[in-house]
Amino acid sequence: MTPLRISIVATIVSIVLLLVVFELIRSRRLRERYALLWLATGLVLVALSAWRGGLNTIARWLGVRSYPPAVLFAVGLLFVILVLLHYSTVISRLADQNTILAQRLALLESRVAERD
Amino acid sequence: MSADLSATEEGTAHSEAAGPLAAVRRIAVVPAFNEERNIGRLLGELKALDPDLEVVVVSDGSVDRTAEVAAEAGAHVVSLPFNLGIGGAVQTGFRFAWEGGYQLAVRLDGDGQHDPTQLRAVVAPVVGGEADLVIGSRFLSDGGYRSSAARRFGIRVLARVVSWIAHERLTDTTSGFQALNRKAIALFAADLPRDYPEVEGLVMAIRHKLRVREVPVTMREREHGSSSIGTLAAFYYMIKVLLAVFVDLFRRDVVPLDD
């Protein structure tokens, strides 16, 4: 069985995560497009932390017999990897766009300079 | 259709602020992404309908000849260096309209699904001073192109939710066929949601106490190419828009609310 204390602490931490994400969206420091994965992470972690029977059942399915909260860590880690992968794609796109902007600006500057 | 748009004036001349449409500096904002085959016809129709209507085509990172075709047809052309998505493209057009001092802006999509002959009906409430933002709705009229059942269902649900927020019956919140007065141009130029500018922008306009009005229009099926939203994605789209609208209700406003 999952120790009660772990369930309580994990639930609180997950709810705090959700609240922080929501506040970041609200204050426009995080666009909701990029926040969807974080919201999903928070919701799944809240569900697994608070629903102790579910966590034990999933752990049994997966063959984790000694310590069910290990599933919580595994799921959390999986989501962190997904978020990082998502950010890598976002950064790649920003880098491409940055190149295009720099090229456009330089071309414009040279045209303006030649006109003077 | 050769009737001048200013003919609208006879019907709505009771407003003190209106003045004849001929004196109103007006512009059509046309977002276009790879629409070289559709844009020429749209611009030709607009010119035939109202020769004094200026047009700004915002080419949203198009890789075809959209910008060239639009420039040859006499439109102002703003070419974005890469694809910003519909919200960023439309807002570019509204910023152009704001900086150019236009009193009236009409948004029509570059794929030709918005029929220019219906322009008169869409601008009338703005010209008459009865509304700040007018939406052309497919669901207030009979006939015309209505898209697939899945998309219609999504559009219905969104309309219900937005109507509930607005305390006002709205039927077609995803319509991009819109007319804006200077006040609405100012708001959208300063702050227009990027992802779902039609629905989220409408909610924002209502929060800012803009007078929103729907008028019936019929839409055409696009002639060439495919729409940006597939049928299979309709449900996912609806969920994402609902989430965005929900978040918007709590979000800080860029343009302060005056009350």
Nearest-Å Rg of the Cα atoms of chain A is: 22
CB pairs A-B closer than 8 Å: 30
CA distance B98 to B93: 9
User: Parallel, antiparallel, or unpaired for β B178-181 and B133-137?
Assistant: antiparallel
pLDDT exceeds 50 at position B13 = no
DSSP for residue B34: S
Whether the complex's predicted ipTM surpasses the cut of 0.90: no
Query: What does the pLDDT read at residue B230?
Result: 64
Close Cβ partners of B111 (under 8 Å, ≥ 6 residues apart): B32, B35, B38, B222, B223, B225, B227
pLDDT exceeds 80 at position B191 = yes
Per-residue pLDDT reduced to its tens digit, A52-74: 888 989 999 999 888 888 999 99
Nearest-Å Rg of the Cα atoms of chain B is: 17
CA distance A12 to B57: 51
Chain A residues with beta carbon closer than 8 angstroms to that of B245: none
Per-residue pLDDT reduced to its tens digit, B95-148: 999 999 999 999 999 888 899 999 999 999 999 999 999 999 988 876 666 667
Nearest to A32 among B82, B247, B254 (CB): B247
Query: What does the pLDDT read at residue B29?
Result: 97
* Tokens 């001092």, residue located: B101
CATH of domain B5-248: 3.90.550.10
Per-residue pLDDT reduced to its tens digit, B199-230: 999 999 998 999 999 999 988 876 555 555 56
pLDDT exceeds 50 at position B14 = no
Q: How far is A100 from chain B (nearest CA, A)?
A: 7
Q: What is the overall mean pLDDT for chain A?
A: 91
Per-residue pLDDT reduced to its tens digit, A95-114: 999 999 999 999 999 999 99
- A32 with B194: Cβ contact below 8 A: no
- A25 with B195: Cβ contact below 8 A: no
Domain ranges of chain B: 5-248
Percent of chain A at pLDDT > 70 equals: 100
Q: How far is A27 from chain B (nearest CA, A)?
A: 6
User: Parallel, antiparallel, or unpaired for β B212-216 and B133-137?
Assistant: parallel
Task: Answer whether B105's CB lies under 8 Å from B97's CB.
Answer: yes
CA distance B83 to B60: 5
Q: How far is B247 from chain A (nearest CA, A)?
A: 7
